[in-house]
Amino acid sequence: MLCPALAGLFLAAGAKELGLIEPWVLPPALQTLFFVVAALTSVAAPLMVRTLFAHSLRESSGADPQSFLVFQQRLLLVALLTPWLAILVMVFDFRNFYGSSMVLMALYAAYYYYPSERRIDFDSRIFRVEGYEKNI
């Protein structure tokens, strides 16, 4: 999900730089709307998905592996929408604040929520996934 978004971002940036596409002007209200959506998908929505998953485990002693996998998939789906929104920065003529902020939010979402072994181990311990053994 991340590789196609990054490829699209680089292709759009290259086409814009070479003058192959002319950036379209976007009204300031829509720029603000896309900025808010990027903030939601990079910070607020992943936090909510995580909180809802933790809340669903309040009565149990831990998570079963299948529900943990579904949680991880939802978290990635929500968080990695932000790099797709960053493509809009290249296609449309955003103000510097909104454009650079959206790109930074995309980098944050890709870095923080990308499923590294370390993050999966950490989440497995936090949510007490059944059958989880720490890799030493």
Average of per-residue pLDDT across 7-27:
87
Residue-range domain boundaries for the chain = 2-18+37-126
Q: What is the pLDDT of residues 82-112, one digit of tens each?
A: 999 999 988 898 999 999 999 999 999 999 9
Give 48-86 pLDDT, tens digit per residue.
Answer: 999 999 999 999 888 999 999 999 999 999 999 999 999
Tell me the mean pLDDT in the region 19-48.
93
Res 135 pLDDT > 60: no
Question: Which pLDDT score is estimated for 9?
Answer: 82
Structural contact between residues 62 and 129, judged by C-beta atoms closer than 8 angstroms: yes
